[in-house]
Amino acid sequence: MQIHGLAYDDMVSVRLNENAWLPLNNKGVNVAEPAKSYGGIGGGFATLQLTLPLPAGCLLDRANRIHFRFNRTNGVVSGFRVLAFHFVTAEGREILPANGFIEDDPNSWTAPLPDAANIAAGKSLWQGAALTANGLPGAGAIRAHCEDCHTQDGRDLKYFNFSNASIIARSRFHGLSELQGQQIASYIRSLAVENPGRPWNPPYQPGPGLAALPVAQWAAGAGLHWVLANDADTLPFLFHGKVSPAVFRPDGNLSPREIPIAMQLPDWNHWLPRVHPLDSWGERFAGSAFAQLYANAEYAKVAGEEKGRAAFFERWNQARSKFLTPHLAPGSKKWSAELAEELYSAQLWELVKTWEITQSRAWDNTVPASSAPSALNIPDSPAGMGGSALTNEYFSSAWYQVQVVLNSGQHRHRGRTPLDWPYLIGHFRDLERLSGRPEPARLLVTVIKALQSTDPAIGPGNMAEGWRPEQMVDPRIMVDADWAATFAPLPSDLRQAITQALLTAWLDKTSQYPPAAYFQLGLSASSYAPPAADLRNISGGKAWDASARFRAAGVEPQVVQRLQAWGAAYTALAGLFHY
């Protein structure tokens, strides 16, 4: 089966004919990789492929009926979607014919109540209906309306093709009637909005051909079929059969939208906040600059100018930090799941509203990275997202990946924005430690985008915007002992070729400028220290310190000698400038 929205054990049960119901849980089913390594049912991935062993005698030699049942809500979910299923033999042979399934075309859907009066009523409900927190008995009223957690006009539901049934079910979940749900669904169906997405296709999931589509379609992503089963399957799309320095060239332009990965990014449901900031902090939020910058449509004043948009988002991020910081628990012992959820939801509120503002344009902000749980120091613990260290770390890594796809600097970085590359790289190790699943290929895509965050025309004399190797991850990552396990899945000859190509590309770029260009009289080197010990040996720009390890890794002698010569020249000048 392929099921979207299977959020916890025993949420759904399956029955064949009139046999006993079989609950779906991590003990009774086999969840396919890579989702299994990220927690399986209840883990990071929203859509799972799983196999359920059937007791003997379930299937009869006649027409059979399969039932799926939603057992209970946890106060968050209101349903699930079965995207595909097959019956297979013990040997894995599919019994049902491929042409036995029909794809439901969203463009054939019609409004349940298509007259103007009901559509207008649906719009009014979307904007102002009084809602309850969830579908559990005794759920209290909330201040937020539909438009507060979604886009103002509801176009996200149309864009991602949420069905009438799902909209009605969610309306009832929040305390509305069947009729009111039908009216809201009719309003959503009436919107004149492009609708290339699906609820289960993660927004901005990378894949071949995505970058060539109109910008307005990028949010739909490349589809679940481009979520790879293995990290190694990314490599052919990265190297196209040949590992060369050109792949890593800092002046190149790798499109991360085009490179499929084995990480399923968050679906739209996981973009949406579980609790609106109004229901967490009330008037303190409503009167804050964080809320008012959006409510006053400040962004509209700069919609046509790129620098103005970037400045707006910078102010908005600062307002978010100023608002949320007083609410942060001062120490790890103070963290609770409730506090973490409130803070994380506030980040997601900004993320959804950023999608609303920028959906038709390329992103020129750092909001996705700011949405990571780690951005607020939400701990990898039961207080984290999903109630586990693994799921919390998955969401941190996933939002950083979305940032890489949407805005990794595009040759226009400034200091450590839009991404602090050593910090981001560290999350690969954090996730790997918890999942046991190294991702060398996805990591290499990120390393390349780090190298390509600088404008080719700006040299190291510009310390904020120019080529500054010490601000990035350098080639030592390929030979550092702390990172050996990450690259261990790669064959030794491929690892050797990648190491030499990365080092050569880094040297070619670094040596374009004389050593003196990296120093400025009266200015000392940055005192920035990477946040973890295993990052300090792979950043800082002093790749020549690892000359012996590069030689041992099989890098050609002339390349190592060139690295040593550069290091000697740089070190001699560094002593004069007291770096």
Residue 535: its pLDDT value, please? 80
Q: What is the average pLDDT value for the chain, to the nearest integer?
A: 92
CA distance 457 to 105: 48
CA distance 68 to 65: 10
Contact 358, 287 (CB under 8 A): no
Contact 378, 34 (CB under 8 A): no
- What amino acid is encoded at 370 in this protein? S
Tokens of 307: 């620098």
In a domain, 7, yes or no: yes
Q: Both 70 and 140 in a single domain?
A: no
Q: Does the pLDDT value for residue 540 go beyond 90?
A: no
Domain boundary among 157, 190, 223: 190
**CA nearest 368: which of 322, 333, 404, 393?**
404
**Per-residue model confidence as pLDDT tens digits over 469-479:** 888 899 999 99
Least confident of 39-53, 66-80, 275-289, 515-529: 515-529
**Per-residue model confidence as pLDDT tens digits over 159-179:** 999 999 999 999 999 999 999
Residue 279: its pLDDT value, please? 97
Q: Both 19 and 99 in a single domain?
A: yes
Q: Both 2 and 80 in a single domain?
A: yes
Residue 455: pLDDT band by 50, 70, 90 thresholds?
very high
Burial of 562 (C-beta count, 10 Å sphere; 0-12/13-18/19+): middle
CA distance 283 to 263: 39
Q: Both 123 and 82 in a single domain?
A: no
CA distance 254 to 251: 10
In a domain, 14, yes or no: yes
Q: Both 94 and 4 in a single domain?
A: yes
* Torsional sign, CA 31, 36, 39, 43: negative
Tokens of 512: 């374009």
**Per-residue model confidence as pLDDT tens digits over 392-431:** 999 999 999 999 999 998 888 888 889 999 999 999 999 9
Q: Both 14 and 88 in a single domain?
A: yes
CA distance 291 to 319: 9
Q: Both 115 and 95 in a single domain?
A: no
Q: Both 156 and 177 in a single domain?
A: yes
In a domain, 158, yes or no: yes
In a domain, 431, yes or no: no
- What amino acid is encoded at 531 in this protein? P
Contact 88, 60 (CB under 8 A): no
DSSP reduced 3-state for 139 = coil
Residue 115: pLDDT band by 50, 70, 90 thresholds?
very high
Mean pLDDT confidence for 362-368: 90
Q: Both 98 and 143 in a single domain?
A: no
Domain boundary among 58, 86, 103: 103
In a domain, 128, yes or no: yes
Residue 521: pLDDT band by 50, 70, 90 thresholds?
low
In a domain, 427, yes or no: no
Residue 500: its pLDDT value, please? 98
CA distance 81 to 47: 9
Mean pLDDT confidence for 135-151: 96
Spatial CB neighbours of 9, under 8 Å, sequence gap ≥ 6: 23, 24, 25, 26, 27, 41, 42
Q: What is the CA radius of gyration of the chain?
A: 26
Q: Both 4 and 99 in a single domain?
A: yes
Q: Does the pLDDT value for residue 140 go beyond 70?
A: yes
Q: Both 2 and 94 in a single domain?
A: yes
Overall domain count for the chain:
2
Q: Rounded to 10 degrees, what is the CA torsion of 297, 300, 305, 310?
A: 30
CA distance 123 to 110: 16
In a domain, 458, yes or no: no
In a domain, 254, yes or no: no
Q: Does the pLDDT value for residue 318 go beyond 80?
A: yes
**Domain that includes residue 163, residue range:** 106-190
Q: Does the pLDDT value for residue 525 go beyond 60?
A: no
Q: Does the pLDDT value for residue 522 go beyond 80?
A: no
Domain boundary among 49, 78, 103: 103
Q: Both 50 and 120 in a single domain?
A: no
Residue 533: pLDDT band by 50, 70, 90 thresholds?
low
Tokens of 151: 């886009």
Residue 470: its pLDDT value, please? 84
